[in-house]
Structure 1
Amino acid sequence: MLKNKIPKPESKIAMAHMYVAFIALLVGGLMGLLQTFVRSGEFTLPFGIGYYQILTVHGVVLGLVLTTFFIIGFQYALMSKSVGMSKGHRKWAWIGYIVTLAGTIMAATMILLGEANVLYTFYAPLQAHPLYYIGLALFVVGTWIACFINFNQLYQWKKQDPGEKSPLMAFMVVINMLIWFISTLGVASTVLFQFIPWSLGMVDEINVLVSRTLFWYFGHPLVYFWLLPAYMAWYTIIPKIIGGKIFSDGLARLAFLLFLLFSIPVGFHHQLTEPGIDPFWKYIQVILTFMVAIPSLLTAFSMFASFEMAGRAKGHKGLFKWFKGLPWKDVRFLAPFIGMVAFIPGGAGGLINASNQLNGVIHNTIWVTGHFHLTVATTVMLTFFGLSYWLIPHLKGRTLTPKLNKLGLIQTWVWTIGMSIMSGSMHIQGLLGAPRRSAFSTYGGSEQAQEWVGYQIAQAVGGSILFIGIILMVYIFFKLSFGTPKGDQEFPVAEYADVNERTPMVFENWKLWIGIAAVLILFAYTIPFIDIIQNSPPGSPGFQFPIGRG
C-alpha cells in the first residue's frame, strides 16, 4: 500500500467529482422536501411546477448523479492510494468527467424545463424529449471511461508486480466497476436502440416489456454499485479509524466476488407482477437474488469481528464490554456505523421485496420507497458522509477540526432521526396500501386516503428534519473544502490482522470470475428474452403508444 499523500493532480480529479455530488445533494434534497410537503396535502407547488417534475429531479439527481459522481471520485482516490495513477489515466479521467457532466446537464435541463417528467425509471409509454435520453447515454459513456481507467490501473500494477496479490482496495474497485459496466449495457441498449429512435419519431412503436427488462437488468445491480463503496470503507478504512485491523483479506475478496456473480442476473424480481415473463424464470432469478444475502452476512461477520478485536485490544473484557471501546465520538466512525445498523432492517426489507409471495403485498406501494430510503439514503449516504470528514480535507490539504467533528455528530443524529421518521412512516403506509410515485392529491377524498394523512404528515416532518441535515452536510463540506486549517489529514488504511494469511490466488483469476458471471447472466436472461421478443403483439415488434411527452 502506498503510504504517501495522494498527489495534487489526482486530488483535483477526485474533488471535481465531489463538488458535483454535493451540489446534487442540495438540489435533490430540496426536491425531496417539496415532495413530502405536496403529499401532506398542505402545500401546492408554485409557478406551475408539477409534482412529477420534482419527483423526477429527486430520483435522477440523488439516485444517479450524486451517487455516481461521489463513487467515481472516491474510487479514484482509492486507486491512487493503492496502485497509483499515471498521467494518461489523469487525462482520460478528466475526459470521462466532462462527458458525464455534459450528459448530466443535458438530462437535468430537460427535466427542469418540464420536457422529461418520466420519473427515475422512465418507463414507456411515458416519453421524454430526445435530449433527455441522449444526456443519459452520454452520462453512461462517461462512466465507462472511468471503468476502463480503473481496469487499466490494476492491469498496469499487475504488470509491474507479476504474481503478487493485488491491493484489496484496487480489487474491490475493479469488482464494483465490472458490475457497473456489465449492468449499464442493459440501460444503454434500451436508451440507444429504443427510446432515442422513438422520441425522435423514427419509429412509432416501442416494446415496453423489452425496455422494462433491460432497465431492471441494470436497475438492481445499481443498488450494489451504490452499496459496495460503503463496503470498501467498512472493510479497509473503518478498522483503521477504530484502532483495529482487517479481519480477513480472503473473506473480503470472496464477498465481493459473490456480489459480482449474483447481483446482475436478478432483475426479474422487480417484474414479478408483469405478464409476458415465464414464472419459471422469475423463480430462478428470485433464488439468485436471495444468494446476495450471503456476502452481506459475511460482511457483517467480518465487521463485528474487527470491532470486537479492536475493543478487546484496548483492554475491554466480557462478552459485550468491547463495544464500549469503539470511538463513538468520532464522526468518521459513528456515521458509517449507524449506516451499518440501518442495513439490518434494510436487508430484511430487501428479502421481502424479492420474495414472490410477500412482494405481492408491497409491490408498487410506498413501502418500496421507504426501503430505498433506508438502504441507499441511510446506509450508503451516512457512510459517504462519514468518508467525507477525512477524505475532503485529505484531498484539499486541510484538517478535520474538533468543532466540525462535533457538528458532524449532530448532523449524523439529525439525519438518523429524520430518516427514521420518514422511512418508518413510508413502510407502515405501504403496508396499508398507499401507492408509490403518486401525489397525495391523486388519492381523492376516499376514506382510505384519509387514513394515510397522519403518515403523510409524518413524512413531511421527517423530510424537513432531513433537509436540515442536508444543509448541515453541505455547510460541513464547504468548511472542509475551504475553511479549516491547512494540514495533513490522514488517509486511514487498515492493516491485516494476520499478515501471513494466504489468500487463494484463484481470486485473482479475472477470466474465471467474469466468465462465470457471463454464464449466469446468459442462463437467466437468454431464453426469457427470446420469449419476450417472439411473443410481442401480432404484426408489430412492440406496443404502439400515441402518447405525448411527460
Structure 2
Amino acid sequence: MNTEKLGLTKFDSKLTMAFLYVAFISLLIGGLMGLLQTLVRSGTLELPWGIDYYQVLTVHGVILGLVLTTFFIIGFQYALMAKTVGISKKQGKYAWLGFWVMLIGTTMSAITILLGKASVLYTFYAPLKAHPAFYIGLALVVVGSWIACFVNFRQLYVWKKEHKGEKSPLLSFMVVINMLLWFIATLGVAATVLIQFIPWSLGYAETINVLVSRTLFWYFGHPLVYFWLLPAYMAWYAIIPKIIGGKIFSDSLARLSFVLFLMFSIPVGFHHQLTEPGIDPTWKFIQVVLTFMVIIPSLLTAFSMFAMFEITGRRKGFKGLFGWFKHLPWKDVRFFAPMVGMLAFIPAGTGGIINASHQLNNVIHNTIWVTGHFHLTVATTVILTFFGISYWLIPALTGRKLTFKMNKLGIIQTIIWAVGMSIMSGAMHIQGLLGAPRRSSYSTYGGTEQATDWIGYQMAQAIGGSILFIGIILMVYIFVNLTFFAPKGVEEFPIAEEESDAEPTPMFLENWKLWVGLTVALILFAYTIPFIDIIQQSPPGSPPFDWPIGNS
C-alpha cells in the first residue's frame, strides 16, 4: 500500500494552516497568561488595571488547554487525511464551515473572559457562573468540532467504498478513532452546557445540580487528555520511523492500542471525583480499574517505539547494548522534540497512576501536584510532539524548507522548554506533596506560616515559567519564519511504511460496529446506575437537573 500517493493541494494547505494560525496565536496569548500566573503566585507581581488573578488563570487554561490543542489537532488531522485518503470539494466546504463555527465560538468565549465576565477556569465548575456568551461560545466550539468529526468519518467511508477489502491507511484509521473518542466524549460537556449552564446563566433556571454538572464534565474531561495524546501517538507510530530511516514496527499493534484507548479512556471520569459525596464507592472503584486499563496501550506503544528504534539502529550497523540509542538522529529537531516529549511521558504517566489511585489521590487531590502532572502530560509530552510535527508540517504546507538555522534554533527551543518545565513542574509536584492548593493566588495564603515554607517553590515556578515563556517566543518566531520567510522548496511529508515481514493486520481491527458497540456498552455499564442514583438522591422536590445550592 502506497500511503504517499496523494499530494497536498493549495486547498488542503490553506485549510490546515488556518487551524495552525489560531493554534500559535493561542500559544502566545496563553503563554503570556501563564507567565503572569507564576509571577503572581510567587508574590513578585501584582496585576495592573484591576485584572483579576482568576481571569488570567481562566484565559491560560481555556486558550492553551482547549483552543490551542483542539485547533492544532483538527488541522493536523485534516492534513493526514488529505495525504492518505484525500478530501473532496464538498468535504472541504464542510471543513471550512466547522473552522468558522469553532472560531466564532472561541471568540465569544474569549471576549467574555477578557471582560472579566467568565473567571470560572477551564473546568467552569458550578456554582461559579459565567456570562451566557461564554457557554454559548463553548457550545459552538463543540459543534464546529463535530462537523470536523463527520468530515473525517466521511473521508474514510468514501475511501473504503472505493477500496473494498483493503485495510485503511494507518493514519486515517487513527484519525477516525481519535474523532470517535472526541465525539462520544463531548456529548457529556455538550449536555451539561446546553441543558444546565445556558438556561441557568440566562436566568431560566434559578439553581443547578452541581454533581450532575461535574459528572458530565468529567465524562468529557478525562478522554480529553487522550484526545490530546493520540495525535502525538500518531506521529510516534507512523511519522517518527520515517524521519529516522526506519519502518513501522507493527501496524496491528498500533491499531490495537488505538482501539483500546477508545474503549477505556471514556468510562473513567469518576477517578476525578474520588473525594466527592453522592457517588457510590463501588462505582468509583470500578472506574478506577477501568482507568488503569489505559496503561496497557501506553505500554504497547512504549514497546513498539523502542523496538522500532533498536531494529532501525541495528539495521544501520550500530552495535553494543545501546549503540542504536546513541546514534539516533538527535540533531534533527523533527525527531529530537517528540523524543524529549516521549521521555517526559515516563514520569508523567507515573504521576497519572498516582492520581488515579484511590488512597494516593487523597494525598494530592486538589493540590498543585495535579497542575504539575498536567504540565508534564499536555504541556510537555503533547506540546513538544506538536512542535516536532510543526517543523516538517508547516514547510510542507507552505512550500518552504526547514533550514539548518531553524533546525538548530528548534533544538535550542526544545532544550529551553525541557529545562523550564522540569524546574516549574518539579516545584509544583514537591509543593503539592507539602499540601499547597492548586488554582490559588499568593493573596490567598500570603503571610501565613505555609507561605513561608512554600516561597522557594513558588519562586522556582516563576523561574521555570519565565524560561518557558522564552521558549514560547522562540517557537512563535520559528512558526513565522517557516510560514513566511524560509526559502522556497519541497519539504518531505514523512509517512512510514510497515516492516515487510510484519504479520498481516487482522481485518477485525477495522470492525467499527464492534469497537463502537463495546465502547458504548462500557460507558452504559460505568455510568447508567450511578447517574440514576445521583438524580434520584437529589433533594426532595427538585427537578432532576436542578439541585438548590444557590447562585454564585
State whether TM-score is above 0.5. yes
Residue in 1 aligned with 2:322? 320
Out of 460, 466, 479, the position equivalent to 1:477 is: 479
TM-score (norm 2): 0.98
**1:31-50 equivalent positions in 2, closer than 5 A:** 31-50=33-52
TM superposition shift of 1:314: 1.3
Structure 1 spans left out of the alignment, 5+ residues: none
**1:437-516 equivalent positions in 2, closer than 5 A:** 437-498=439-500, 501-516=503-518
Q: How far apart, CA to CA, are the structure 2 residues paired with 1:17 and 1:440?
A: 36
In the alignment, is the contact (CA less than 8 A) between 2:207 and 2:551 conserved in 1? no
Q: How far apart, CA to CA, are the structure 2 residues paired with 1:59 and 1:387?
A: 23
In the alignment, is the contact (CA less than 8 A) between 1:390 and 1:491 conserved in 2? yes
In the alignment, is the contact (CA less than 8 A) between 1:198 and 1:204 conserved in 2? yes
Q: How far apart, CA to CA, are the structure 2 residues paired with 1:100 and 1:162?
A: 34
**1:355-434 equivalent positions in 2, closer than 5 A:** 355-434=357-436
Q: How far apart, CA to CA, are the structure 2 residues paired with 1:280 and 1:345?
A: 29
Q: How far apart, CA to CA, are the structure 2 residues paired with 1:159 and 1:206?
A: 47
Q: How far apart, CA to CA, are the structure 2 residues paired with 1:326 and 1:248?
A: 20
What secondary structure sits across from 1:205 in the alignment? coil
Q: How far apart, CA to CA, are the structure 2 residues paired with 1:476 and 1:122?
A: 34
Residue in 2 aligned with 1:193? 195
What secondary structure sits across from 2:77 in the alignment? helix
Q: How many residues align?
A: 548
After superposition, give the CA deviation of every residue in 1:26-77 in whole Å (9 maximum; x if it has no partner).
Answer: 0000000000000001110000000000000000000000000000000000
TM superposition shift of 1:327: 0.3
Q: How far apart, CA to CA, are the structure 1 residues paired with 2:6 and 2:337?
A: 26
What secondary structure sits across from 1:543 in the alignment? coil
TM superposition shift of 1:543: 2.8
TM superposition shift of 1:545: 4.0
In the alignment, is the contact (CA less than 8 A) between 1:187 and 1:218 conserved in 2? yes
State yes or no: 1:543 paired with 2:552: no
Residue in 1 aligned with 2:350? 348
State yes or no: 1:300 paired with 2:307: no
**1:3-402 equivalent positions in 2, closer than 5 A:** 3-402=5-404
In the alignment, is the contact (CA less than 8 A) between 1:418 and 1:463 conserved in 2? yes
TM superposition shift of 1:446: 1.7
Q: How far apart, CA to CA, are the structure 2 residues paired with 1:4 and 1:262?
A: 33
Structure 2 spans left out of the alignment, 5+ residues: none
TM superposition shift of 1:501: 2.7
TM superposition shift of 1:454: 0.3
Q: How far apart, CA to CA, are the structure 1 residues paired with 2:436 and 2:547?
A: 29
In the alignment, is the contact (CA less than 8 A) between 2:40 and 2:47 conserved in 1? yes
After superposition, give the CA deviation of every residue in 1:169-192 in whole Å (9 maximum; x if it has no partner).
Answer: 000000000000000000000000
TM superposition shift of 1:5: 2.9
TM superposition shift of 1:4: 4.2
In the alignment, is the contact (CA less than 8 A) between 1:248 and 1:498 conserved in 2? no
Q: Partner letter of residue 292 of structure 2?
A: F
In the alignment, is the contact (CA less than 8 A) between 1:117 and 1:128 conserved in 2? yes
TM superposition shift of 1:323: 1.0
Q: How far apart, CA to CA, are the structure 1 residues paired with 2:127 and 2:6?
A: 53
What secondary structure sits across from 2:319 in the alignment? coil
Q: Partner letter of residue 382 of structure 1?
A: L
TM superposition shift of 1:449: 1.8
In the alignment, is the contact (CA less than 8 A) between 1:2 and 1:83 conserved in 2? no
- What's the C-alpha RMSD, in Å, of the aligned pairs? 0.8
Q: How far apart, CA to CA, are the structure 2 residues paired with 1:93 and 1:100?
A: 11
In the alignment, is the contact (CA less than 8 A) between 2:4 and 2:495 conserved in 1? no
Q: How far apart, CA to CA, are the structure 2 residues paired with 1:525 and 1:450?
A: 44
In the alignment, is the contact (CA less than 8 A) between 1:269 and 1:286 conserved in 2? yes
After superposition, give the CA deviation of every residue in 1:517-543 in whole Å (9 maximum; x if it has no partner).
Answer: 000000000000000000001221333
In the alignment, is the contact (CA less than 8 A) between 1:40 and 1:456 conserved in 2? yes
Q: How far apart, CA to CA, are the structure 1 residues paired with 2:446 and 2:382?
A: 35
Q: How far apart, CA to CA, are the structure 2 residues paired with 1:499 and 1:437?
A: 52
What secondary structure sits across from 1:44 in the alignment? coil
In the alignment, is the contact (CA less than 8 A) between 1:314 and 1:325 conserved in 2? no
What secondary structure sits across from 1:265 in the alignment? coil
Q: How far apart, CA to CA, are the structure 1 residues paired with 2:502 and 2:60?
A: 48
Q: Partner letter of residue 543 of structure 1?
A: W
After superposition, give the CA deviation of every residue in 1:201-233 in whole Å (9 maximum; x if it has no partner).
Answer: 001111000000000000000000000000000
* Aligned CA distance change for structure 1 residues 295 and 373 (closer, same or farther; 3 Å): same
Q: Partner letter of residue 45 of structure 1?
A: L
Residue in 2 aligned with 1:524? 526
TM superposition shift of 1:17: 0.1
In the alignment, is the contact (CA less than 8 A) between 2:265 and 2:291 conserved in 1? yes
Q: Using the TM superposition, name which of 326-335 and 436-445 deviates more.
A: 436-445
In the alignment, is the contact (CA less than 8 A) between 1:394 and 1:490 conserved in 2? yes
What secondary structure sits across from 1:489 in the alignment? coil
Q: How far apart, CA to CA, are the structure 2 residues paired with 1:3 and 1:435?
A: 53
TM-score (norm 1): 0.99
Q: How far apart, CA to CA, are the structure 2 residues paired with 1:447 and 1:187?
A: 39
Q: Using the TM superposition, name which of 315-324 and 208-217 deviates more.
A: 315-324
Q: How far apart, CA to CA, are the structure 1 residues paired with 2:308 and 2:18?
A: 33
Q: How far apart, CA to CA, are the structure 1 residues paired with 2:207 and 2:349?
A: 38
TM superposition shift of 1:3: 2.9
Q: How far apart, CA to CA, are the structure 2 residues paired with 1:385 and 1:128?
A: 33
In the alignment, is the contact (CA less than 8 A) between 2:394 and 2:483 conserved in 1? yes
TM superposition shift of 1:432: 0.2
TM superposition shift of 1:319: 1.3
What secondary structure sits across from 2:204 in the alignment? coil
Q: How far apart, CA to CA, are the structure 2 residues paired with 1:332 and 1:437?
A: 34
What secondary structure sits across from 2:526 in the alignment? helix
Residue in 1 aligned with 2:4? 2
Q: Partner letter of residue 487 of structure 2?
A: P
Out of 420, 436, 439, the position equivalent to 2:438 is: 436
Q: How far apart, CA to CA, are the structure 2 residues paired with 1:154 and 1:304?
A: 30
TM superposition shift of 1:547: 3.0
In the alignment, is the contact (CA less than 8 A) between 1:425 and 1:458 conserved in 2? yes
In the alignment, is the contact (CA less than 8 A) between 1:310 and 1:325 conserved in 2? no
Q: Partner letter of residue 166 of structure 2?
A: E
